[in-house]
C-alpha cells in the first residue's frame, strides 16, 4: 500500500485548501507550486511556524513539487472539488462548488494548521501576477531571475521557467 505522505492525495488536499482560501481567485500551476512550498515553510517567509521541517536544498524540491501538485490537482478534479478553466491567460484552477464544505468537514489538527497557513500565504501571494510569481519562486529557491534567457543566471543553479 502506498503511503499517504507526499502522495497525490496529500498534495491534492493541500491544493484544495489553498484554492478554497483563495476563492474566487483562479490560480495557474506556477502559482499553486509557489503557494504549496510557501504554505509548508511559512517561518522562512517571516510567517507563523512552518508545518513541515525546513530542508536545506529547496531547489531540489521544485521539479518534484510541480509534478506532485499536478497529480494532486488531478485527484481533486476527478473528485469534482476543483474546477479547471481555460482562458487566454492559460489554464487556471479554482475551488469547486463543494470545496468549502468538504474542507470544512475535515477535522484533523494538520488541516487546521494547513488552513491557517494557507490563509496567511494566500494573503501574501494570492494576487501576484505571473511575473511576480516567477520572480518570487526564483528568490525562494535561490535563483536569480533573468529577463532574457538563461545566460544571466548564476552558474550551476538551474532555472525554472514554469
Phi and psi based region of residue 95 (left: phi greater than 0; alpha: psi -120 to 50; beta: remaining): beta
- Lowest mean pLDDT: which of 29-33, 59-63, 155-159? 155-159
Q: CB-hemisphere CA count at 13 Å for 125? A: 30
Q: What is the Cα–Cα distance from 86 to 41, expressed in whole angstroms?
A: 30
pLDDT of residue 153: 32
pLDDT of residue 4: 56
pLDDT of residue 12: 96
Whether the predicted pLDDT of 149 surpasses 90: no
User: Which has more pLDDT, 142 or 2?
Assistant: 142
pLDDT of residue 3: 52
- For the stretch 38-64, pLDDT in tens is 898 888 888 999 888 776 665 566 667
User: Which has more pLDDT, 107 or 162?
Assistant: 107
Query: How high is the mean pLDDT of the chain?
Result: 81
Whether the predicted pLDDT of 75 surpasses 70: yes
Looking at the chain, the whole-number percentage of residues with pLDDT higher than 70 is: 77
The pTM score is 0.80
pLDDT band with cut points at 50, 70 and 90 for residue 115? very high
CA angle 49, 16, 133 (to 5 degrees): 70
Amino acid at each position: 500500500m502506498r503511503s499517504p505522505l507526499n502522495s497525490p492525495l496529500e498534495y491534492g488536499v493541500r491544493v484544495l485548501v489553498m484554492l478554497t482560501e483563495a476563492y474566487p481567485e483562479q490560480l495557474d500551476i506556477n502559482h499553486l507550486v509557489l503557494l504549496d512550498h510557501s504554505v509548508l515553510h511559512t517561518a522562512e517567509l517571516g510567517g507563523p511556524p512552518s508545518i513541515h521541517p525546513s530542508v536545506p536544498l529547496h531547489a531540489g524540491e521544485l521539479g518534484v513539487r510541480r509534478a506532485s501538485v499536478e497529480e494532486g490537482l488531478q485527484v481533486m478534479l476527478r473528485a469534482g472539488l476543483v474546477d479547471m478553466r481555460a482562458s487566454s491567460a492559460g489554464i487556471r484552477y479554482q475551488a469547486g462548488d463543494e470545496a468549502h464544505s468538504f474542507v470544512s468537514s475535515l477535522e484533523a489538527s494538520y488541516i487546521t494548521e494547513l488552513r491557517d497557513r494557507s490563509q496567511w500565504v494566500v494573503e501574501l501571494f494570492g494576487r501576484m501576477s505571473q511575473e511576480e510569481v516567477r520572480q518570487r519562486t526564483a528568490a525562494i529557491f535561490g535563483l536569480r531571475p533573468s529577463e532574457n534567457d538563461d545566460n544571466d543566471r548564476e552558474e550551476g543553479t538551474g532555472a525554472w521557467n514554469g
